[in-house]
């Protein structure tokens, strides 16, 4: 029997029983559609989170004081284990690095802020003029901190929108004086409402020059240095250059940790990728159920067509020809189901995207391939047993059956 | 050399604890081109004999030589090939594939033999013409009369130009006139040189054959 004839014969068998074929294709299609749609949701969640994170500012490299990991023996470690302060001068030295575009030191603390008899607790962020660009901050009123000597800041403050409203109500805050701790600052700008990022709520913040913040908190060390690399490919060189520069400045001791936004993103990427994978696994169960259904239907089909199988044997069909014809039939049903299910799944994803335009629910390519592959594999795998049973039928008994 | 040579054939079926001897120590020689009626009451073993001759069943002991070749020791696939090329079956209940057209049913053995589609359709067209089915080529079995169905079955049995035709009660489901036509068709093939072996318990039908085998209880009780 020629392969093309086997396929044609199997095709005729599937179209010969339209209801059975339609139901089986539907079952397989639901399984594949579930895989496609659910992974689209999972992967959509992953992309959504990554997009949100990218809004923090792009190409970010962050320096933290202290080591978060050890790396072999360093002669300097033998002499002193105390980390040096991460100073404003350290931060300023980084601006000269080739892969670095902008640098913003960051000191964090809390203090009381008061104006016109109103007083509240506020989070102070001490930094320099480029912080606005690094964090992509947008001002609602006024301007950001001026470009000036990092170690001698002038008493100016930029307020978060909530702080501004608490102190001045709806009135414009620009030019007003506020008291922070025991110093007086002039308000030069108010931020647009933004919300939370990097663990602090930018609406509840007062931004002052870094040197003044250090003086207020009586501290020489920085909380972070935020660095914006020149472009995406410059992130890794920037990381290396920053680490080398700071190690040099700290007498050869590597006492800072440099992380990239990419590393943080990669963690989320892995987490949500695993979630998608898990969801795909759950959906794959429905594929296994569909596979068992294929087996069931094919077994019934073998029973129904017993006399036909007997006839084929009497006409000289070999066992393998009959087995192949039934296998081809199972494969065709699974394939048709997989294709229909793929279409349904894409349709479902499109509907989700239509309902939630910000949610990028596209099924990942691997899930689509795995879904189609699993459908075909289960269909054929579960088709083997019925096909073998058909091939082994005794022709005399098969012919006797009506 | 006889075309068919059975020596000491035994076929035993096991039904629970008891053994049923469907055939016992059967010897038979059939020359090419013979016309034989196998007769006998139900359970006499005549269908078992036909199944053995058609290589659908294997004897428990004895040898079956077909055209000088011992076919009892062949593998299942080799036997399938012999069935395909040398043997044509005609059944009482026609055994057409319900979802295939008359033409497709006739072409089935050639498809199983892997003959090219062009050659297949040429031979099917010829057969449809020969058996007066040209206008019924695209009809499915349920759209055909009993006589037409059996003619499709005979066309299918002869499409591979076999050496022998084994017919099991070929007129059993047909009225007398149609049965007469079918028998005339089969006898015409026999006149062309094909060995024809018909199983029947219709005495009138048996009387038409040149040689009659009377079976009883698994034994050949009369031959001639």
Q: What is the pLDDT of residues A95-114, one digit of tens each?
A: 899 989 999 999 999 999 99
The predicted model gives A55-62 an average pLDDT of 75
Element (H, E) at A206: strand A205-209
pLDDT band (50, 70, 90) for residue A296: confident
Under the banding of pLDDT at 50, 70 and 90, the label for residue A305 is confident
Helices A261-304 and A18-54 cross at an angle (nearest 10°) of: 180
Residue of A nearest to B86 (CA): A316
Cross-chain Cβ contact A2/B93 below 8 Å: no
Whether B82 contacts B66, CB under 8 Å:
yes
Is A79's pLDDT higher than 70?
Answer: no
Which of B57, B84, B95 lies nearest to residue A316, judging by beta carbons? B84
Q: Which of A14, A83, A91 is nearest to A297 (CA)?
A: A14
Interface confidence (ipTM) of the complex: 0.91
Rounded mean pLDDT for each run of 10 residues along chain B, 224 residues in total: 91 89 91 94 89 93 93 92 94 91 94 92 94 93 93 94 93 91 93 94 90 89 80
Using the Cβ of A240 and the Cβ atoms of chain B, whether some distance falls under 8 Å is answered with no
Residue A359: the pLDDT is 84
Confidence of residue A83 (pLDDT cuts 50, 70, 90): low
pLDDT at A151: 84
Q: Report the first-to-last Cα separation within chain A, whole angstroms.
A: 25
Coil vs helix vs strand at A138: coil
Residue labelled with tokens 């989070």:
A123
- The residue among B59, B77, B97 with the most chain A CBs within 10 A of its CB, best to mutate, is B97
Domain coordinates in residue numbering, chain B: 33-58+76-223
Calculate mean pLDDT across residues A385-390. Answer: 90
Angle, alpha carbons A373-A16-A18 (nearest 5°): 65
Instruction: Give the DSSP letter of residue A186.
Output: E
Structure tokens that stand for A182 in this block: 């025991």
Q: What is the pLDDT of residue A14?
A: 86
User: Is domain B33-58+76-223 in CATH 3.40.50.300, yes or no?
Assistant: yes
Over residues A112-133, mean pLDDT? 90
CA distance A320 to chain B (A): 9
Q: Is residue A7 within 8 angstroms of chain B, CB to CB?
A: no
pLDDT at A198 over 70: no
Average pLDDT for chain A: 85
Taking the CA of residue B54 and the nearest CA in chain A, the distance in Å comes to 8
Res. A45 pLDDT band, cuts 50 70 90 = confident
Query: Using CA atoms in the order A114, A119, A120, A124, what is the torsion angle rounded to 10 degrees?
Result: 10
Query: Among positive and negative, which fits the CA dihedral B36, B41, B44, B46?
Result: positive
**Chain B neighbors of A2, CB-CB under 8 A:** 111, 114
pLDDT at B127: 94
Q: Average pLDDT, stretch A234-261? A: 86
Chain B interface mutation, best of A15, A316, A321, highest count of B Cβ atoms under 10 Å: A316
Chain B positions touching A313 (Cβ under 8 A) are 56, 80, 83
Say what percent of chain A tops pLDDT 90. Answer: 23
């Amino acid at each position: 029997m020629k392969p093309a004839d086997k396929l044609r014969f199997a095709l005729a068998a599937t179209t010969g029983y339209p209801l059975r074929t339609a139901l089986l294709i539907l079952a397989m299609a639901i399984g594949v559609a579930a895989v496609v749609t659910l992974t689209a949701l999972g992967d959509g969640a992953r992309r959504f989170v990554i997009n949100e994170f990218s809004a923090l500012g792009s190409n970010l490299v962050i320096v933290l004081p202290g080591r978060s990991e050890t790396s072999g023996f360093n002669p300097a470690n033998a002499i002193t284990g105390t980390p040096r302060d991460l100073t404003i001068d350290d931060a300023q030295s980084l601006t000269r690095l080739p892969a670095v575009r902008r640098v913003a030191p960051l000191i964090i603390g809390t203090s009381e802020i008061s104006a016109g008899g109103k007083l509240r607790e506020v989070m102070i962020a001490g930094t320099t003029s480029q912080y606005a660009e690094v964090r992509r901050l947008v001002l609602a009123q006024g301007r950001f901190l001026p470009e000036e000597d990092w170690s001698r800041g002038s008493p100016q403050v930029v307020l978060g929108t909530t702080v501004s409203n608490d102190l001045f109500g709806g009135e414009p805050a620009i030019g007003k004086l506020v008291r922070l701790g025991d110093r007086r600052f002039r308000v030069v700008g108010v931020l647009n409402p933004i919300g939370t990022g990097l663990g602090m709520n930018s609406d509840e913040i007062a931004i002052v020059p870094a040197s003044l913040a250090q003086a207020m908190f009586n501290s020489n060390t920085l909380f972070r240095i935020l660095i914006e690399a020149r472009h995406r490919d410059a992130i890794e060189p920037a990381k290396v250059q920053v680490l080398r520069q700071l190690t040099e400045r700290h007498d050869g001791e590597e006492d800072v940790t440099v992380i990239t936004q990419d590393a943080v993103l990669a963690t989320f990427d892995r987490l949500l990728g695993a979630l998608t994978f898990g969801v795909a696994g759950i959906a794959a169960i429905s594929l296994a159920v569909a596979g068992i259904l294929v087996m069931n239907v094919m077994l019934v089909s073998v029973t129904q067509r017993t006399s036909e199988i007997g006839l084929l044997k009497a006409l000289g069909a070999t066992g393998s020809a009959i087995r192949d014809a039934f296998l081809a039939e199972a494969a065709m049903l699974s394939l048709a189901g997989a294709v229909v299910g793929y279409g349904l799944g894409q349709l479902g994803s499109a509907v989700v995207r239509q309902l939630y335009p910000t949610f990028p629910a596209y099924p990942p390519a691997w899930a689509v391939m795995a879904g189609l592959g699993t459908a075909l594999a289960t269909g054929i795998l579960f088709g083997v047993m019925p096909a073998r049973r058909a091939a082994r039928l005794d022709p005399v008994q098969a012919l006797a059956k009506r | 050399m006889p075309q068919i040579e059975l020596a000491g054939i035994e076929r035993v079926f096991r039904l629970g604890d008891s053994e049923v001897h469907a055939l016992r120590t059967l010897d038979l020689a059939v020359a090419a081109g013979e016309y034989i009626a196998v007769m006998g009451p139900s359970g006499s073993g005549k269908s078992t004999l036909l199944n053995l001759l058609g290589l659908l069943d294997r004897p428990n002991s004895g040898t079956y030589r077909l055209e000088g070749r011992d076919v009892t020791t062949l593998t299942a696939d080799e036997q399938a090939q012999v069935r395909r090329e040398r043997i044509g079956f005609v059944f009482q209940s026609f055994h057409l594939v319900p979802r295939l057209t008359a033409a497709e049913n006739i072409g089935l053995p050639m498809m199983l033999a892997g003959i090219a589609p062009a050659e297949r359709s040429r031979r099917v067209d010829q057969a449809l013409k020969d058996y007066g089915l040209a206008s019924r080529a695209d009809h499915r079995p349920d759209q055909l009369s009993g006589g037409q169905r059996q003619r499709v079955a005979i066309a299918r049995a002869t499409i591979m130009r076999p050496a022998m035709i084994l017919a099991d009660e070929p007129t059993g489901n047909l009225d007398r006139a149609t049965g007469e036509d079918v028998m005339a068709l089969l006898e015409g093939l026999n006149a062309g040189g094909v060995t024809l072996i018909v199983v029947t318990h219709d005495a009138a039908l048996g009387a038409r054959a040149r040689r009659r085998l009377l079976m009883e209880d698994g034994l050949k009780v009369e031959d001639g």
